Chain A
Amino acid sequence: MGGGNGGRPWVEMRGIHKWFGGVHALKGVDFHVHRGEVVGLIGDNGAGKSTLIKILSGVFPPDKGEILIEGRRVRFRSPKDAKEYGIETVYQELALVDNLDVPANIFLGREPALVGGRGLFALLHKGRMLREARALLERLKVNIGDLTSLAGELSGGQRQTVAIARALYTEPKLLIMDEPTAALAVQETRKVLDLVRKLRERDIGVVFISHTLQEVFAVADRIVILRKGEKVGDLPAAALTVDEAVKLMVGGEGA
């Protein structure tokens, strides 16, 4: 497995702080991911998981601290900047546009044009979108069926697959998955976890966030635990049990 090696991480966050009004949401968190490594990020509600990954994906700037990619300092002013460095995010709550079909969702915001280049009134190359969407899904070995279905007509697992495929289209170096299995049935969850393992084989780093610790343990190489804005654990998955993880998440008092 590519994870956990001793070399330089692909991305590194150092001493990250974030305040929202008077709330100190992140208190100097260090975080890193290697290529081909699946990092499970866990913590109770309000621990700072979402804030941390939103900083990593360029949604918020950190108030203090720095982000390095391949050892060089970077600053993200928007999710677009992060994407240009190869960081893609799959948000559970933002998922897909239900009233558009599969190719339209995969290419949303970067539609290939017949004429007109990058302009707003460029003519869409619908044929190419359909072809490339099909090819992309075939590479990931997933079956969606009729690609002209609207996203709203797909099952939860299919939707999540399309959302991941969309994030993978640009061949990112790091994929952040925020609760990718929250709305899924067991069978579909398994498919998503399989997909995560495939990403590791393709040397893509993954940050995997889930409330279901069993899933995290099933797929992660390393587990990072946050509590009240601080990192309280950073261990290889093999060196940790679910019970120990829970104790770290909720705090050390007794038991």
Chain B
Amino acid sequence: MDIKAWLKRINRNRVLFPLGALALLVIVAASLSPHFLTPMNIKNVLSQVSIIAILAAGEACVILTGGIDLSVGAVLAISGSITAVLMKWVGAAIPLAILGGLGAGALAGALNGLMVAWVRIPSFIATLAMMAVARGGTLVLTNGRPVSGFLKSFRAIAGYAGPLPLLFLITFGVYVLWQLALSHTRFGRYVYAVGGNETGTRFVGVNVRRVKLLVFILAGLCAAIGGIMLDARLNAAYPTAGEGYELDAIAAAVLGGVSLSGGVGSLVGTFFGALVMTVLGNILNLLKVGAFYQYIAKGLILAVAAISLSRGIKFAK
């Protein structure tokens, strides 16, 4: 009975499929390329997944409430640029510059949240506007030029803690906190409730606006963390950074079992979704598959994954 309940819960969180897909992909990858399971490549994959995964964490929560955030890529760029500009042009201390970047991300998220929850602009439009504003703001701020060459101590963010990339540990930490908040706090419960039945949730007296505001702020913060991590990884902030990443983040969440109509899915699944996407790119690169065939292969595999996800696991609704 306990095991049954446990299985039911896992099934409900829809993590079995992305986990299975990931396992399958890893097995196939390992058998196709001797380079796949080398320590070096594992480190590469973990570094590579970090940024897309952290964006997906914020995105998944917005989607869980039934919204969407198209601005995460642009917010990544503006937060990364602000941190870079603060360090390089203003000469601010590293922690201060990081705080500046995080603050910008939170502010952009808060504006998204206000537009969606108070002004009642559909999130698709509100965050599309934010995407344009943040991208434009980044170009204005940096004059359209990359800002590069940071201090070693800042670049250490993209370094290693023992055998593991620090970027990965940061992302992993955020995921653990996020998942705990989602499954064990009142906030997390309201995130699911708003996604499942917003009017009903408002009627029992839950402050739905505040929940939405917070979700967007947290998505902005995640994007900002991603921007700062990207700065450290590339040793440069460039104004076109993160273009199109919002789609990758959405895809990772959906592959991870998060339903675009809201209320269903988990961060654990999202994390596996992000890993599936990253490993897929990695193995195609390792197999030296040419660019054009990569597009086709990726498209086909993602389509198959999405189809089996929606067909394979049926939920009462």
Contact of A94 among B193, B203, B317 (CB under 8 A): B203
Give A148's nearest chain B residue, CB to CB: B5
Chain A residues lying within 8 Å of B189, measured Cβ to Cβ, are: 100, 104, 108, 111, 124
Main secondary structure of the interface of A (DSSP, over half): loop
Q: How far is the CA of A113 from the CA of B206 in the complex (A)?
A: 15
Q: Which of A97, A111, A121 contacts B200 (CB 8 A)?
A: A97
Interface residue? B187 (CB, 8 A):
yes
- Interface check B263, CB cutoff 8 A: yes
Does B93 make an interface contact (CB < 8 A)? no
Partner of A124, one of B5, B8, B184, B316: B184
Q: Does A99 contact B (CB under 8 A)?
A: yes
Tell me the minimal C-beta distance from A85 to chain B in angstroms: 14
Closest chain A CB from B191 CB (angstroms)? 11
B113 to chain A, nearest CB (A): 14
Q: Mark B200-216, 1 if CB is under 8 A from A, else 0.
A: 11011110001100100
Chain A interface residue count, Cβ-Cβ cutoff 8 angstroms: 32
* Contact among A80, A98, A150 with B205 in the assembled complex (CB-CB below 8 Å): A80
Q: A94-B200, A100-B189, A123-B185 are in contact. Are A79 and B205 (CB under 8 A)?
A: yes
Structural contact, B210 and A99, CB atoms closer than 8 A: no
Task: Give B262 Cβ to nearest chain A Cβ, in Å.
Answer: 8
Chain A, range 125-171, C-beta contacts under 8 Å to B = 126, 148, 150, 152-153, 166
Instruction: Give, as a whole number of angstroms, the nearest-CB distance from B127 to chain A.
Output: 22
Within 8 A of B (CB), among A97-121: 97-100, 104, 108-111, 113, 116, 119-121
Q: Is the CB of B185 within 8 A of A120?
A: yes
Check B197–A97 contact: CB distance below 8 A.
yes
Judged by a CB distance under 8 angstroms, whether B195 is at the interface is yes
* B88 on interface, CB distance cutoff 8 Å: no
Distance in Å: Cβ of B159 to nearest Cβ of chain A: 32
Residues of B within 8 A of A89 (CB): 203
Given A96-B200, A150-B316, A153-B316, A124–B205 Cβ distance below 8 Å? Answer: no
Question: Is B12 among interface residues, defined by CB-CB distance under 8 A?
Answer: yes
Interface check A60, CB cutoff 8 A: no
Closest chain-A Cβ to B184's Cβ sits at a distance in Å of 6
With both beta carbons as reference points, the residue of chain A lying nearest to B8 in the complex is identified as: A148
Tell me how far the C-beta of A121 lies from the nearest C-beta in chain B, rounded to whole angstroms: 5
